[in-house]
Amino acid sequence: MIGLKILDRGTPLGRFWAEFCENRIALVSFWIVLIVSALAVLAPLYAPQDPYDIGKLVLTDARRPPGHVGAGGYVYWLGTDAQGRDLLSAILYGLRISVQIGIAAGAIAFVVGGTMGATAAFLGGRVEVLIMRFVDMQLSFPAILLALVISAVLGQGKWQIIAALVAAQYAYFARTAHGAASAERAKEYIEAALSTPLSARAVVFRHLLPNCMPPLIVVATVQVANSIALEATLSFLGLGLPVTEPSLGMLIANGFQYMLSGRYWISIYPGIALIVLILAINLVGDQIRDQLNPRLKR
Amino acid sequence: MLGFLIQRVLQAAVVMLAISALVFVGVFAIGNPIDVLISPDVTQQIRLDTIARYGFDQPLWKQYLTFLDRLVRGDFGRSFVFNMPVLDLILSRLPATLELTLAAVLGATLFGVPLGMYAGYRPDSIVSKAIMGLSILGFSVPTFWIGLIFILVFAVHLGWLPAGGRGPTAGILGVEWSFLSLEGLSHLLLPALTLSLFRLALMIRLARAGMREAILSDYVKFARAQGLSEGKVIGGHVLKNISIPIVTVFGLEFGATLAFAVVTETIFSWPGLGKLIIDSIQSLDRPVMVAYLMLVAFLFIMINFLVDIAYAALDPRLRTGRA
């Protein structure tokens, strides 16, 4: 077995990567995530049209089917929307916003939730009970409602929606970090670290948290995918981003009214882009989870 | 068992109180409801009168106590938009949502559990891989997009099913239901299917994970060694043991599905609670928002409570152990 050779020599990360590569679907998904994210972030550099430069839109080209050759002699590969926007460009820009928000919300929730969970496990006693009760209470409440209400209260905007997503999702990180940290807390290396002059904060952040990383990484992948889906849902309901920053959810919502008259492409293609991205992230997360679950090891 | 019950009831009451405070502060203290109630060009006197009438001049804790007092007496106030008691408004919309949610969760459980158990029993077969693929798809595809596709395929192109609305309803005990007529069922099918896909994926996952762990356990080995048929081992022993997480998730997901119905109802113009809350968020109808949130919180607490009781009934170890 070629895999075994790498297993023997490599670093822990190298071994992990080698095992990851054995699942072809996960590997392909991993590359899809990387490529789609790169395409999304670099969209302004190569997209055929700046979909939000109103001066460039041609209204006579509105609602054209995929493959239509527009007034400027240029081909709308995925058709155009009600304002004559090239849908391909709109999707690339929309992906950009979705990825940005997903990653920002996931990262902030990671830091907030991870810190809360690890601190609760480290301190123990009343603080732990208080924090974890609160987290449990929130977990029993559906994330979408929480995000809905918070974004309704905060109003529309990029940071408002990120705040709503973080508030709705940090609890998953807190729960996971608390579980992992409680197990690590009892181990001897933490006792050893505490007996040195290191501050409690240094022990939590430099020793406890890094050892809780594996399960947190699994939660992080899933939550980034969830944030992207949740943001799209909120934008679809008209509670997410302002019209000036149209994410994929808003593109889909705009196309909804034309769907019943058979102009399917305005909603369908942004939806496919969204699903490919979320599906790929979930498949990567799945493989990482399976690899980290010792109970499934044979 | 009685002590366990009392303890749980007390816990639920404390949590409910905490949530009521959060909802109150969240919805009432952020922003000024007075600006929604009266137009900006009324005289100062009318403004002050209105503020006094709604008690907005009182300190926050006093407002909260008044709010609690009315809440206990079942008075949720009047909707600013519909100008009718909020409780009546919500009760009139509740059956539609309950019907949709129940259909979705039941469907997901009845199909998801057997599919998931099969996938866990033969993890390497092609069928199992297809089932798991379906479940990952169910997790990844946002509800609203699935709804759109269903409308496009079944309503616009094939014309088999209606694209929205609730259709005719028939009354039982004064409550209107859709599922009693064929026409009503045809209206219910697409929204319920849309809403159930995510739960279906979850049930498959859960049943598969439970099966995979159970199949390696000692009790299964012993049951087989006893000479029990494979059907009895799976149906009698494994199913019973994996039913605990399934019951939990069934309960919790019932609440989450109720919340997710917000999206499905918006797409299919299903006249339930979800559509009501979206409309009231957009029109800043605070009494409706507060009442809806309290109701959902209450439902969640009730569900958690019932799940705990069901746990205790299914697993005697939990009755005496930790609370």
Please name the member of A233, A262, A295 whose beta carbon is closest to the beta carbon of B263: A233
Nearest CA in chain A to B29: A153
Q: Which residues contact B100 (CB under 8 A, 6 or more apart)?
A: B188, B191, B192, B195, B261, B264, B265, B270, B272
- Please indicate if any CB of chain A lies within 8 Å of the CB of B277: yes
Give A-chain residues touching B300 at CB under 8 angstroms. Answer: 140-141
List % helix, strand, coil for chain A (3-state, nearest 5): 75, 0, 20
- Please indicate if any CB of chain B lies within 8 Å of the CB of A239: yes
- Please indicate if any CB of chain B lies within 8 Å of the CB of A83: no
Model ipTM?
0.72
Total Cβ atoms within 10 A of residue B239: 18
Closest to B287 (Cα-Cα) out of B295, B300, B302, B270: B295
- Please indicate if any CB of chain A lies within 8 Å of the CB of B19: yes
Closest to B272 (Cα-Cα) out of B211, B158, B214, B187: B187
- Please indicate if any CB of chain A lies within 8 Å of the CB of B97: no
Please name the member of B140, B152, B260 whose beta carbon is closest to the beta carbon of A142: B260
Distance from CA of B152 to the nearest CA of A (A): 7
B144 contacts A233? CB cut-off 8 A: yes
Give B-chain residues touching A136 at CB under 8 angstroms. Answer: none
Tens-digit pLDDT profile for residues B148-185: 888 888 877 777 777 777 766 666 666 666 666 666 77
- Are A265 and A65 in contact by the 8 Å Cβ rule? The answer is yes
- Please indicate if any CB of chain A lies within 8 Å of the CB of B314: no
Q: Is A76 helix (H, G, I), strand (E, B) or coil?
A: strand
pLDDT (tens, 9 = 90+) of chain A, 298 residues, equals: 444 444 455 677 777 787 778 888 888 888 988 888 888 888 777 777 777 766 666 666 666 666 666 666 666 666 677 666 777 888 888 888 888 899 999 999 999 998 898 888 888 888 888 888 788 777 777 788 788 878 777 777 888 889 889 988 898 899 888 888 888 888 888 888 888 888 888 888 888 888 888 888 888 888 898 888 888 888 888 777 777 777 888 888 887 777 777 677 778 888 888 888 888 988 888 888 877 766 555 4
Nearest CA in chain B to A251: B145
Helix and strand numbers, DSSP H then E, in chain A? 14, 2
Closest to B290 (Cα-Cα) out of B94, B51, B67: B67
A149 contacts B26? CB cut-off 8 A: yes
- Residue boundaries of the structural domains of chain A: 12-292
Give B-chain residues touching A140 at CB under 8 angstroms. Answer: 252, 255, 300-301, 304
Rounded to whole angstroms, the Cα distance separating B190 from B253 reads 19
> Which residue intervals of chain B are DSSP H helices?
2-24, 34-37, 44-54, 60-72, 86-121, 126-140, 143-150, 182-215, 218-225, 230-232, 239-268, 273-282, 286-314, 317-320
CATH superfamily of A12-292: MetI-like (1.10.3720.10)
A268 contacts B277? CB cut-off 8 A: no
Distance from CA of B220 to the nearest CA of A (A): 17
B143 contacts A274? CB cut-off 8 A: no
* b/e map B27-56, b = 16+ CB within 10 Å: bbeeeebeeebeeeeeeeeeeeeebeeeee
Rounded to whole angstroms, the Cα distance separating B208 from A205 reads 36
Q: Which residues contact B291 (CB under 8 A, 6 or more apart)?
A: B76, B77, B86, B87, B90
Give B-chain residues touching A234 at CB under 8 angstroms. Answer: none
Distance between start and end Cα atoms, chain A: 17
Give A-chain residues touching B266 at CB under 8 angstroms. Answer: 237
Tell me the average pLDDT of chain B. Answer: 78
Please name the member of A142, A239, A271 whose beta carbon is closest to the beta carbon of B145: A271
Rounded to whole angstroms, the Cα distance separating B112 from B201 reads 7
Rounded to whole angstroms, the Cα distance separating B84 from A150 reads 26
- Are A70 and A80 in contact by the 8 Å Cβ rule? The answer is yes
Nearest CA in chain A to B162: A260
* Angle, CA of B166, B170 and B175, to the nearest 5°: 90
Q: Which stretch of A141-155, B25-39, B217-231 has the lowest confidence by average pLDDT?
A: B25-39
Distance from CA of A69 to the nearest CA of B (A): 26
Residue B261 has pLDDT above 70, yes or no: yes
**Bridge partners (DSSP) listed for residue B143:** none
User: Sign of the CA dihedral B76, B77, B78, B80?
Assistant: negative
DSSP H or E run through A75: strand A75-76
Cα–Cα separations (whole angstroms), residue B123 to A96, A288, B208, B238: 37, 18, 9, 16
Give A-chain residues touching B145 at CB under 8 angstroms. Answer: 252, 267, 271, 274-275
Does the predicted TM-score (pTM) go above 0.95?
no
